[in-house]
Amino acid sequence: MSFGHGGPHGDGGGFGGGGQAPDWNALAEDNARAKRRRTVLWTAFGVVATGLVAAIVATVVVTVNKDDGKRTDETHKSLPPTATLPSPSTSASPRFSSVAPRPVPSPSEFLNSAARDTAPLTAAGLFPGGEVRLDGGTYEKGPLAATGDCATAAQGALGGVLSANGCRQLLRATYTKDGVAVTVGVAVFDSAGAAARAKEQARGNVASLAGSGVPVFCRTTVCRSTTNAFARYVYLTVGGFRDGKAVTKADTEVFRAGDELSTYTFRQIYARGVAAASRAAASPAP
């Protein structure tokens, strides 16, 4: 038996002898119907799948919303009740004493009279240290002296004026700078009134104080002197050259030294009053 050359689908006797040929039109119609059924099925499947996806998304959204609602409720429940929240301060307003504080006394109140100016007074205490630095430079401190016989530490008519007004003590210190020497004197009285009278009546000058390397000066030559008063104190200066040269108006270094040391002495006296006022202010009220 021979299969021929057409193969199983050849147009000859590949299927054996005497067989009927297939109806190609009918096969084509069946194939078309099958294709239409597949198209309808896929369309229906797509619609169903789309509906399922939408339903899943809606379910997720609803679930999330429900969870958010639960969390919001739980957050509200976790807040402390109103009663436990901090309330505005109810502390009492500050109260101030109706008693006015004592006024701070003026330093001059303690320096105007011996009754209140009772702190120890010495030349070393009034003129401390070994030097003093002022605007004009550094002045070296020389000898110190103190006496209860004020007239013996004065020159000319000043001695009589001091004694007549009741001078209790005369303190002196000498300062030098370059070739200039200045002696500062502080006369102490019982009251500010007595000191003021002594200042107005003053003639002559405080006696210069030599020693500790400072030669005698301003005893037999022209020198420059000043006289001032504060509270119960009269403070004086006499200044000139260490070599005994006479002072003229052109010798500005002598004038400056005398003025600066006079101001320094006033400050020392005033500081004494400040210290007394501070002690009084710190003491308990009577």
Which ranges of 10-94 does DSSP label H, i.e. alpha helix? Answer: 24-78
Q: Model pTM greater than 0.75?
A: no
Residue 281: the pLDDT is 77
Which ranges of 79-207 does DSSP label H, i.e. alpha helix? Answer: 107-111, 123-126, 158-164, 192-201
- The CA distance from 121 to 96, in Å, is 42
The answer to whether 172 and 123 are in contact (CB under 8 A) is yes
Residue 257: the pLDDT is 98
Reading the chain (286 residues) residue by residue, the pLDDT tens digits are 333 333 444 444 333 334 444 554 555 566 556 666 665 455 555 544 555 545 554 444 444 444 444 554 554 455 445 444 445 545 555 565 555 555 667 888 889 999 999 999 999 999 999 999 999 999 999 999 999 999 999 999 999 999 999 999 999 999 999 999 999 999 999 999 999 999 999 999 999 999 999 999 999 999 999 999 999 999 999 999 999 999 999 999 999 999 999 999 999 999 999 998 888 877 665 5
- The CA distance from 8 to 4, in Å, is 9
Give Cβ neighbours of residue 262 (< 8 Å, ≥ 6 apart): 184, 226, 228, 235, 237
Residue 50: the pLDDT is 57
Question: Longest Cα pair distance anywhere in the chain, in angstroms?
Answer: 182
Residue 60: the pLDDT is 43
The answer to whether 196 and 148 are in contact (CB under 8 A) is no
Residue 106: the pLDDT is 85
Single out the residue of 266, 264, 270, 217 nearest to residue 239, CA to CA: 217
Residue 278: the pLDDT is 86
Single out the residue of 273, 88, 119 nearest to residue 192, CA to CA: 273
The answer to whether 237 and 258 are in contact (CB under 8 A) is yes
Residue 27: the pLDDT is 52
Residue 280: the pLDDT is 81
For residue 32, give the amino acid letter: A
Give Cβ neighbours of residue 252 (< 8 Å, ≥ 6 apart): none
* Structure-token pair, residue 59: 């379910």
Q: Provide φ and ψ at 95, rounded to 5°.
A: -115, 140
